């Protein structure tokens, strides 16, 4: 035989079990999005190269996949590239279709993206993103709804999470207060490493990045804030620290309002049932290039896997396409990592494995025909049925049911046919029972 | 403002209305596939170029989109290409994963494909295919189930269809009987034009393609077969015509068995209710390069749009990847054309337009908070709710509900709040009614 065919490195085939699980994740998320009035859009896999270039930094430009018509000469510069994320196409979409849209525009989008990254464990060249955004309003109800969505999605999936929240205005305020307003990125990049490298190493990095001793000293109250204390207490002490910074205080006010909104809409049942917490986390510094207000990151409590959802408030996403001053807020669910968490914690529903509820196994052509009429009746009742297409050895037919994890096999031999019945076998208990059509429908529907 | 951004020609953005409609089509089809135990797989957008090249003829090779890492020099031949259809990746998948699969393997796949075709009305460079196949069995129950699936999908969508069916063995038999066994493709290509150009022009084309007068004459009973006659009668006269061809008679036997299977599994209710017919159509000649048995094509009766579903039996799909002799049968639903038919015949359900059932409109910050707690309760009941994020002018909030076709608006002013009620406005009748939370839930759920 010829060499086994393969697929490009960093890409994946998804078999039926993986697809059932992935669909479970996406359907759960979509179900929650819909409750909040977010509606789905899709954009093309390929964008004009000008839409993509320069939007992801120098590194990003190098990781774009470019597309060439087969007819085109290789020397010709490709004019198209594959979607690198869902954010830039979304911004392009909003600007291009702004006259047809009603604002605030609430959209979600679940599509693959492609990056010419070096493939490694957990990093793929093709992977799905799952983004939800509301754009065209600076109301903090946007933040509230995204937090509620996170809570509800993970409650439905059964994953206990902590939502870390920060605010770019607070970070800017801190930089301002210590007299280094231009060093906000340096400061937050260093602070971001606090968990990993500790306070002393962060201080060293701050010095390397050009902060003087006085400034480093001024930052210590922030760095040494205990992680266990309540958000309200953190905000209270930050408020004092940031008293001289208008921006900083605005950030505090935003956070206070967000916490207030979350508190006031918590239903009693949810308070008890779910393990969902929110933590004000000054070390959170993702996306500082474009986030202007709240910044979110969600971590699973019972799995060591990093962020499974992240996002924030932006004020100028569409500015790159000539439509400035449109505020929005959005988050992205990491489907691959959620998949890994659900697998690690064994949280996928068992019933996902097979959609087929019963397989008809037969001993001869006549029985096979007989089974086909029953199958048609069952399907009309909404029951998923397969008929093994040949009256072959029973062992083979049973093996097929086993491998597809089909829970019941309806065996049809001459005796059963004569009685207008089938022998229903429960594949997990081994029990068998002779049944008429009506009984079979009842048994399979329960 | 900068120039409005755009997307590559031949590609499309799908807005929320289009997405809702497309999802309706795909969900309907998927629901039927599941009833028959077909399970979903996905393959990567990019395949190794060797997997794709030479599989679609010379024309096809030219229409492949090739992919280049941004880092790679343009002069380097690209090693990857975008998926051109779902059939070749499916064959690759079956061969690559054959040890993990249980046969007969029943899969469906719904993903976009890309072709560097010249874009024109109804022809896109990116479009979805929706394929369903069973591979690893030559049982005609495969054909039966695909026919049943076609019937059920179009019954659910409300489209009246005729399924045209032919058989390559019959076509081969005809070529054999008239003494031109090597001319099967020429003959069928010519016959295929019968509807468009008429018998005489077809005869001319047959002559051009190398048939002698005797052979053309021998074909006339086939060409002049009336289109109104019953399948059984067609098969009976064909049986005489093909009496000397073993292959031809095998084709007849297959068709007889398929018709018998369809007849014997027709339920009484379906017979009356649906307008679904099957027609043996010798002019159907699609996919002769690879189909070896039955060939299918489905046409909508009430729209002039060509084939909306097509497929057939193949015996050597996986041979191209080194696994010969595996028989399968499959069909492909044309989502774009189905979309067009549903639009033309106004068959999309009205409720698809909006998922949001109620918008809360408020007059002040306090009312807004109040609305948020109600929204949370309603969502916990599974009701899709939006809260307009700012207590702005009522006209603007109503306009938003209008543009998103949200059927109800719950108005919250000071009076309503004082009474622990909201004023529910029915947006189509204009009726208003003051309601408590429990009444609101009841009203929205009914």
> How does the average pLDDT of chain B come out, rounded?
92
pLDDT, average across residues A231-255: 95
CB contact under 8 A, B386 and A37: yes
Is the pLDDT score of A1 beyond 60? no
Residue A30: both structure tokens together: 């979509």
3-class SS at A195? helix
pLDDT at B1: 46
Q: Is the pLDDT of residue A110 over 70?
A: yes
Are B97 and A13 within 8 A, CB to CB? Answer: yes
State whether B36 and A386 contact (CB < 8 Å): yes
Beta carbons of B11 and A35 less than 8 Å apart: no
A40 and B16 within 8 Å at the Cβ level: the answer is: yes
For residue A348, give how far its alpha carbon lies from the nearest alpha carbon of chain B (Å).
17
Considering only residues 168 to 187 of chain A, which have any Cβ-Cβ distance to chain B shorter than 8 Å? Answer: none
Taking only the tens place, the pLDDT of each residue in B77-107 is 678 999 999 999 999 999 999 999 999 999 9
Contact A43 B82 (CB under 8 A): no
Residue of chain B with shortest Cα separation from A140: B389
Higher model confidence: residue B194 or residue B153? B153
Query: How confident is the model at residue A435, as a pLDDT?
Result: 96
Contact by Cβ (8 Å): A354, A440: no
Does A383 touch chain B if contact means CB atoms closer than 8 Å? yes
User: Poorest-confidence range of A179-193, A392-406, B396-410?
Assistant: A179-193
Collapsing DSSP to helix, strand or coil, A176 comes out as: helix
Rounded to whole angstroms, how far apart are CA atoms A346 and B389?
Answer: 38
Band (pLDDT 50/70/90 cuts) for residue B265 is confident
- CB-based contacts of A24, cutoff 8 Å, min separation 6: A348, A349, A352
| Residue B401 CB partners (closer than 8 Å, separation 6+) | B359, B361, B409, B427
Q: Which pLDDT value is given to residue B206?
A: 94
Q: Is A417 on the interface with B (CB under 8 A)?
A: no
Lowest-confidence range among A154-163, A260-269, A359-368? A260-269
State the complex-level ipTM.
0.92
Q: pLDDT: is B225 or B432 the higher one? A: B432
A15 close contact with B: CB closer than 8 A: yes
pLDDT tens digits along A80-91: 999 999 999 999
What residues of chain A, 89 to 108, have a C-beta less than 8 Å from chain B?
A: 92-93, 95-97, 100, 102, 104, 106-107
Task: Enumerate residues 6+ apart whose C-beta is below 8 A from B169.
Answer: B247, B248, B250, B251, B254, B292, B293
pTM of the shown model: 0.94
Q: How far is CA B308 from the centre of its chain?
A: 7
Q: What per-residue confidence (pLDDT) applies to B70?
A: 64
Q: Cα(A159)–Cα(A176) distance, rounded to whole angstroms?
A: 38
A43 touching chain B per CB within 8 A: yes
Give the pLDDT confidence of B44-70 residue by residue, as tens digits. Answer: 999 999 999 998 888 889 999 999 876
């Amino acid at each position: 035989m010829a060499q086994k065919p393969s697929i490009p490195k960093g890409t994946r085939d998804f078999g039926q079990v993986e697809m059932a699980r992935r669909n479970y994740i996406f359907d759960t998320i979509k179900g929650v999005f819909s409750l909040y009035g977010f509606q789905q859009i899709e954009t093309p896999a390929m964008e004009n190269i000008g839409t993509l270039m320069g939007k992801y930094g120098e590194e990003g430009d190098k990781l774009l996949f470019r597309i060439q018509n087969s007819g085109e000469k290789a020397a010709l510069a490709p004019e198209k590239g594959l979607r690198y994320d869902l954010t830039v196409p979304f911004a392009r979409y909003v600007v291009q279709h702004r006259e047809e849209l009603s604002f605030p525009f609430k959209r979600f989008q679940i599509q693959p993206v492609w990056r010419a990254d070096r493939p490694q464990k957990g990093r793929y060249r093709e992977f799905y993103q799952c983004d939800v955004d509301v754009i065209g309003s600076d109301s903090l109800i946007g933040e509230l709804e995204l937090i509620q969505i996170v809570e509800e999605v993970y409650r439905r999936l059964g994953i206990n999470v902590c939502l870390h929240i920060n605010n770019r205005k607070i970070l800017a305020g801190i930089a301002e207060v210590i007299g280094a307003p231009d060093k906000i990125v340096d400061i937050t990049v260093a602070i971001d490493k606090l968990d990993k490298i500790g306070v002393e190493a962060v201080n060293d990095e701050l010095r390397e990045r050009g902060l003087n001793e006085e400034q480093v000293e001024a930052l210590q109250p922030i760095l040494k804030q205990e992680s266990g204390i309540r958000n309200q207490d953190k905000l209270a002490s930050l408020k004092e620290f940031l008293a001289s910074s208008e921006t900083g205080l605005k950030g505090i006010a935003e956070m206070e309002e967000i916490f207030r909104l979350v508190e006031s809409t918590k239903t009693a049942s949810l308070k008890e049932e779910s393990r969902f917490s929110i933590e004000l986390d000054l070390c959170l510094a993702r996306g500082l290039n474009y986030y202007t207000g709240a910044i979110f990151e969600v971590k699973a409590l019972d799995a060591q896997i990093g962020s499974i959802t992240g996002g924030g408030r932006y004020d100028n996403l569409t500015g790159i396409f000539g439509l400035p001053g449109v505020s929005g807020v959005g988050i992205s669910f990491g489907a691959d990592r959620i998949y890994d968490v659900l697998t690690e914690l064994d949280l996928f529903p068992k019933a996902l494995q097979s959609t087929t509820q019963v397989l008809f196994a037969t001993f001869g052509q006549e029985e096979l025909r007989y089974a086909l009429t029953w199958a048609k009746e069952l399907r009309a009742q909404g029951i998923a049925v397969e008929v093994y297409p040949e009256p072959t050895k029973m062992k083979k037919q049973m093996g097929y049911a086993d491998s597809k994890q089909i829970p019941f096999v309806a065996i049809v031999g001459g005796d059963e046919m004569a009685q207008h019945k089938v022998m229903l076998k429960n594949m997990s208990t081994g029990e068998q029972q002779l049944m008429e059509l009506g009984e079979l429908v009842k048994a399979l529907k329960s």
